[in-house]
Amino acid sequence: MTSLHYNWAGNIPFSAARYHSPSTIAQLQEIVHHADKVGIAGARHSFPPIADTTGDLLSLEKLEDAVSIDPTHSKATVSAGMTYETLGPLLHEAGYALPNLASLPHITIAGACATATHGSGEGLGNLATHISGLELVTAGGELVTLTREKDGDTFNGAVVGLGGLGVVARMTLDLIPTFMMQQEIYRGLPLPTLYDNFDAVMASGYSVCLFTDWQKGVIDSAWVKHKLVDDAPIPASEELFGARLGSPEHVLDRPGSDRILTPMSIPGPWYERLIHMTLKHPPGPGDELQTEYFVPRHNAVAAMRKVESLRTYLKPILDLTELRTIAEDALWLSPAYRQDIVAIQFNWHNDGPGVSQFLPMLEEELAPFEARPHWGKLFSTPPVRLKTLYPRLPDFQALARTYDPQGKFRNAFLDETIFEAQ
């Protein structure tokens, strides 16, 4: 099994007839122009077959990766196949930063934004909200530029594109001044205390992420990340709503052997602290599956109580859950479209049959809380339900037909989840 022919988790074999890694945009345009079907693989960190194709599968990892910074407008134009792991140090050295990052840094910028991947933080949007411009290779091989300023709501429809509009070759990102951070971990936050103080807990740092397996009535660990003033370290509080300050080796009781935890209680640049872990090795098959649902902020506590009530069903198949907050945006297929949301992520044991059997029950229990599934993770939500959860889905269908009238970028996943919801 190689990462080229499977996704990161190893649960999805790609069915492509041909694989390409173009090094120039001209080569990329030529491949797309002559192909009948095209898929785009980023870091292959999606769990359903969202990137699969029966035709030509493209990797953008070899595409020219120069970073062009516009200091006048605080923007950077980057190759879409670049990873955040590569981009972060380059921006920091130039005096800039992104407002937020996801938990792992090896994911590609295009793949993360196309599926509305996110971090956590009060007032912080998902990674796609950083984008102000796209250069898109469409079905005929043409290079089309879309910008927030020029294209307005059409741009909002294209950013979280699921690979269904074309191949994003370059992206322009909004930047902020670089900053330093410090993170701490607190252990044993009682779930009743969290439910009573959810807003205050999630506002206790620049970014706050909570981990639990739902079995012991507590948050096993709370990661609290602070943005430092004048780069000065801050003394760590010994307590967070009853949780005690913990040491890194106790995080989750079981740090993965393929991962290195980012440093605690030590100031560091934003790109080293907003993430949770780095990988010891290049991404290969991972021994886990993932699902994630997003609920409106006002439904968060009720939804978490419901998940906790399912702990007997969760015990044999769940490793842990991560809870995060994301601010609202205007992106059509973003789970945060027009509403602040809370993300409930499930890191499953590598038990495909057990997870598949449980997901319909989980979704039925979360349905009253308007739970939207993450496009890049496992779910069983039927198309008719997706249309009610993502109100701009019909507009996206029309946009896809405009840029890809013959369905060159459509695959079984998009056909079943997006285009059957008509």
Token look-up 């809370």 returns: 342
Q: Give the pair of three-digit tokens for residue 407.
A: 């369905």
pLDDT in tens, 12-61: 888 899 999 999 999 999 999 999 999 998 888 888 889 899 999 999 98
User: Which pLDDT belongs to residue 224?
Assistant: 97
Distance CA 347, CA 325 (A): 17
- pLDDT, residue 287, reads 82
Residue 254 is given by DSSP the state: -
Strand pairing class (38-41; 56-59)? parallel
Residues 148-170 have pLDDT tens digits of: 999 999 999 999 999 999 999 99
Is residue 235 over pLDDT 80? Answer: yes
Confidence of residue 272 (pLDDT cuts 50, 70, 90): very high
Give the pLDDT of residue 4.
Answer: 58
Structure tokens given for 416: 């079943």
What's the confidence (pLDDT) of residue 257?
Answer: 54
- pLDDT of res. 407: 95
pLDDT exceeds cutoff 70 at 68: yes
Give the pLDDT of residue 262.
Answer: 84
- Whether pLDDT at 421 is above 60: no
Local confidence band at 258 (pLDDT 50, 70, 90 cut-offs): low
Per-residue pLDDT, 314: 98
Q: Is the pLDDT of residue 72 over 90?
A: yes
**The pLDDT value given to residue 150:** 97
393 to each of 34, 72, 274, 406, how far by Cα in Å? 29, 36, 31, 19
Q: What is the pLDDT of residues 352-397, one digit of tens each?
A: 999 999 999 999 999 999 999 999 999 999 999 999 999 999 999 9
Strand locations in 88-246, DSSP E?
A: 96-97, 131-137, 143-147, 167-174, 176-177, 180-190, 207-212, 218-227, 239-240, 243-246
Per-residue model confidence (pLDDT) at position 249? 56
pLDDT score of 285: 62
Structure-model confidence comparison of residues 217 and 250, the more confident one? 217
Segments of 254-308 assigned E as strands? 259-261, 268-269, 277-279, 289-296
Give the per-residue pLDDT at 42. Answer: 82
Residue 44 vs residues 41, 62, 196, 284: alpha-carbon distances, Å: 6, 15, 38, 9
Contact (CB, 8 A) for 198 and 211: no
**pLDDT of res. 233:** 92
pLDDT score of 253: 45
* Long-range contacts at 230-233 (CB < 8 A, ≥ 24 apart): 231/180, 231/267, 232/267, 233/182, 233/266, 233/267
Mean pLDDT of 293-318: 98
pTM of the model: 0.94
- Determine what percent of the chain is predicted with pLDDT higher than 70: 94
State residue 6's pLDDT score: 83
CA separation for the pair 243, 230 (Å, rounded): 28
pLDDT of residue 1: 33
Q: What is the mean pLDDT of residues 318-347?
A: 98
Mean pLDDT of the chain: 92
Q: Does 252 or 160 have the greater pLDDT score? A: 160
